[in-house]
Structure 1
Amino acid sequence: MSRLVIVSNRVPVPTPGTPPAGGLAVALSGAMKARGGLWFGWSGGKLEPGADEQPEPEITTIDGVTYAVIDLAQRDLDEYYAGFSNRMLWPLFHYRMELTEFTRVTLSGYHRVNRLFAQKLAPLICPDDIIWVHDYHLIPLAAELRAMGLRNRMGFFLHIPFPPPDILTVLPNHADVVRSLAAYDVVGFQTPIDLENFETYVRRERVGRRLPDGRFVAHGRAVTVEAFPVGIETQVFADVAAASGRNALVRRTRESLGDRSLIIGVDRLDYSKGIAQRIQAFETFLLLDPEWRGRCAYLQITPKSREEVPEYAAMEREVAELAGRVNGSFSEVDWTPLRYVNRTVGRNALAGLYRQAAVGLVTPLRDGMNLVAKEYVAAQDPENPGVLLLSRFAGAACELDGALLTNPYDVDGTAGALARALDMSLEERRERWSGMFEKLKTHDVAWWCQSFLAALEQPDEPSQASRIAAAG
């Protein structure tokens, strides 16, 4: 069996003797343990200022998985990470064209770091390794490796949305992005909508077409392009939630609520998550449905992120001001309607809080998948499940058909949906939840990993691919 090589921007090197953090790390680590594996990427550390050259990767092996990490210079982080990746690709792929910032300097830095990754990774690759690259930071990596002579099977998975052509072509180097994707053997998206956007682009820009066997030919290469919706550790998370009553934070929260209904939102502080619109919808709900004042509490857990990017600092101020306005308008001596928490909550406690919540508010303006939606469903008590209120613009909406779908831009509509969720009968809640939970059990993170790797290990038909390339 071929060795699996994972490449990602950040590498989650675990502490020896402790399990990897998060279901994705668990699934990928498990796949690597089963066949021998290497995980390569940025350490999270910085090179000393004035360092003349990039040192070789630091390599450690923990629980049967080898981790190879490199530090990056401050210039690299400014241009590749904070610059092109997170001030151009991230907002554009989330349909926020007004927030994009394109410069030739950051584009150059993006390619320079991808070339650096390729240079440091290539000596570690064996001829029969299969390589799986993750996310928008590393789109050009396969092209860099191919230029160095590597002919390994390479796959790429995009964890964020793939935008439609009218948005993608705002990117000055959009043609290079798609040409870089064509250097992979398998490209995975989260949803059929992303796949449709890709197909429309290659057809409209006349750089490729779909083949009768379902693959695409793009820029002279035959590439498998499919939707592989990422999952969670469904049963594990459900078991953690069921046992969470012993958690001190969960117990204190339950006692503080009394008989009030809990509404919960959990998001990294990011403009794609629709947190400001969600708080406005909650404010509108309290205005339009005054009978719920004092009978519910909204807990918004929002750890900070990317504080070096100015747009995130501005959004932090906006959300804090909105939370203050709601509490200033509606609070009573014995009731605070909105609890706004700006720090990370542990996985076990989070599972317990999900289980307590009558409504899970997952209303991003745009999201590749959104695993919070799936975790909320998995955490529910089968006898008394809560209601998932989900944005129609989250990738999870393609799978979780038992959720109440809402348009997060429609504040009044989301407020009305929240009232409906809180008033929903037990029978309807059970019916909606059961179908979603069964789907999450069969399409968990292990299924996602196995499905993608099965496609990546499926050999192409060289003769057909050669004929296609020759025909242009």
Structure 2
Amino acid sequence: DWLMRSLFAYDLVGFQSEADVAHFSRYVGTETGADILGEHEFRAFGKTLQVQAFPIGIDVDEFIGLGEAPEAQEMHTQMRDEYSRRRLLLGVERLDYSKGLPQRLNAFRQLLQAYPENLGSATLIQIAAPSRESVDAYAALRQELESLCGAINGNFGELDWMPVRYIHRNVARKRLPGLYRAASVALVTPLRDGMNLVAKEFVAAQDPADPGVLVLSRFAGAAEQMRDALLVNPYDTTRTAETIQRALQMPLEERQRRHQALLAGIREQDVHWWRKRFLAALAAVPAP
């Protein structure tokens, strides 16, 4: 009740996805007794509220420019040289239970079990930036991830190859484009996410002539816009492993086609589009 009253203090509330708008609208209609004035327009607690989906984007040109800076170029060269005989898979997020990291590692383990041709080659670099370190649930999650990484490396690793590189610290944003560009596959597989801009940054950082493949959770808000990614249900680790294998084996022509479509989409609906659309909608709200 407190949360709903707080939201109805506003004229316009923006959500990241149409799915979120639908969930909110259904809740308001069934739980608050609000009057439905029109599509996504409600009146309750003596207030009128409009809700719309405004999926946030990135500044594509700014991020591409960041990838041309010395820090990103140095990172790309370093990763290319160090992993010249490997296929890199990459995950970048903060350490959080919503990100589906245990499920991702289990899917990667199933990939190595089901497709042994990846042994000695496929390497997952998982960056999990520290988050809420003092909360017991997050400490337990960190222990679970470290245990999973150790088990995978112990079961599959060789003297000259470790399948998982787990990094529990922040990586400077200036270096991220080079890391993205070096990856053959990005794993963006949260159990639930409002948007997830890592998916969009990965696409912007790719070499159009030889782009990597985005494996994206259908439960991320970005999935509504990025249909040319390979969409997965992160709870289904077996199918996720199959999809990762498909990404690793994808022909160049298909990779280029998917990347071109994804890049066009994030350019069209970038952060400037988001700003203009949100403010235009706010300006159109009738004065009380």
> TM exceeds 0.5?
yes
CA contact (8 A) 2:79 2:182 kept: no
Aligned to 1:444: 270
Question: Once the 2 structures are TM-superposed, how far is the Cα of residue 259 of structure 1 from its aligned partner?
Answer: 2.8
Aligned to 2:143: 317
Report the count of equivalent residues: 288
Residue 377 of structure 1 aligns to a residue in which SS?
Answer: helix
Q: Is it true that 1:409 corresponds to 2:239 in the alignment?
A: no
> Which among 63, 74, 90 is matched to residue 237 of structure 1?
63
Give the TM-score normalised by the residue count of structure 1.
0.59
Structure 2 unaligned runs (5+)? none
Aligned to 1:35: none
CA contact (8 A) 2:71 2:174 kept: no
Q: What is the identity, as a one-letter code, of the residue corresponding to 1:178?
A: M
The verdict on how the C-alpha distance between 1:249 and 1:380 changes in structure 2, with shifts beyond 3 A counting, is: closer
The verdict on how the C-alpha distance between 1:434 and 1:247 changes in structure 2, with shifts beyond 3 A counting, is: closer
Question: Once the 2 structures are TM-superposed, how far is the Cα of residue 348 of structure 1 from its aligned partner?
Answer: 2.2
Aligned to 2:130: 304
The CA distance in 1 between the partners of 2:105 and 2:254, in whole Å, is 26
The 4+ residue runs of structure 1 with deviation greater than 6 A are: none
Q: What is the identity, as a one-letter code, of the residue corresponding to 1:267?
A: E
Structure 1 unaligned runs (5+)? 1-174, 463-472
Q: 1:211-290 to 2 correspondence within 5 Å?
A: 211-212=37-38, 214-243=40-69, 247-290=73-116
Q: 1:198-209 to 2 correspondence within 5 Å?
A: 198-209=24-35
Q: What is the identity, as a one-letter code, of the residue corresponding to 1:274?
A: G
Question: Once the 2 structures are TM-superposed, how far is the Cα of residue 250 of structure 1 from its aligned partner?
Answer: 3.1
The CA distance in 2 between the partners of 1:357 and 1:246, in whole Å, is 13
Aligned to 1:195: 21
The verdict on how the C-alpha distance between 1:351 and 1:287 changes in structure 2, with shifts beyond 3 A counting, is: same
Aligned to 2:214: 388
Q: Relative contact order, CA 8 A, sep 6+: which one is greater?
A: 2
CA contact (8 A) 1:272 1:366 kept: yes
The CA distance in 1 between the partners of 2:274 and 2:72, in whole Å, is 32
CA contact (8 A) 1:185 1:223 kept: yes
Aligned to 2:251: 425
Residue 409 of structure 1 aligns to a residue in which SS?
Answer: coil
The CA distance in 1 between the partners of 2:15 and 2:39, in whole Å, is 18
Question: Once the 2 structures are TM-superposed, how far is the Cα of residue 224 of structure 1 from its aligned partner?
Answer: 1.6
The CA distance in 2 between the partners of 1:248 and 1:384, in whole Å, is 19
Q: 1:333-372 to 2 correspondence within 5 Å?
A: 333-372=159-198
The CA distance in 2 between the partners of 1:388 and 1:407, in whole Å, is 14
The CA distance in 2 between the partners of 1:387 and 1:218, in whole Å, is 46
Question: Once the 2 structures are TM-superposed, how far is the Cα of residue 454 of structure 1 from its aligned partner?
Answer: 2.1
Higher Rg: 1
Q: What is the identity, as a one-letter code, of the residue corresponding to 1:435?
A: A
The CA distance in 2 between the partners of 1:441 and 1:207, in whole Å, is 40
Give the TM-score normalised by the residue count of structure 2.
0.95
The CA distance in 1 between the partners of 2:34 and 2:218, in whole Å, is 30
Aligned to 1:400: 226
CA contact (8 A) 2:72 2:176 kept: no
CA contact (8 A) 1:202 1:209 kept: no
The CA distance in 2 between the partners of 1:373 and 1:199, in whole Å, is 27
The CA distance in 2 between the partners of 1:426 and 1:247, in whole Å, is 23
Residue 250 of structure 1 aligns to a residue in which SS?
Answer: helix
The CA distance in 2 between the partners of 1:422 and 1:187, in whole Å, is 40
The CA distance in 1 between the partners of 2:233 and 2:39, in whole Å, is 36
Question: Once the 2 structures are TM-superposed, how far is the Cα of residue 455 of structure 1 from its aligned partner?
Answer: 2.1
CA contact (8 A) 1:245 1:251 kept: no
Residue 281 of structure 1 aligns to a residue in which SS?
Answer: helix
Question: Once the 2 structures are TM-superposed, how far is the Cα of residue 422 of structure 1 from its aligned partner?
Answer: 0.4
Residue 277 of structure 2 aligns to a residue in which SS?
Answer: helix
Aligned to 1:176: 2
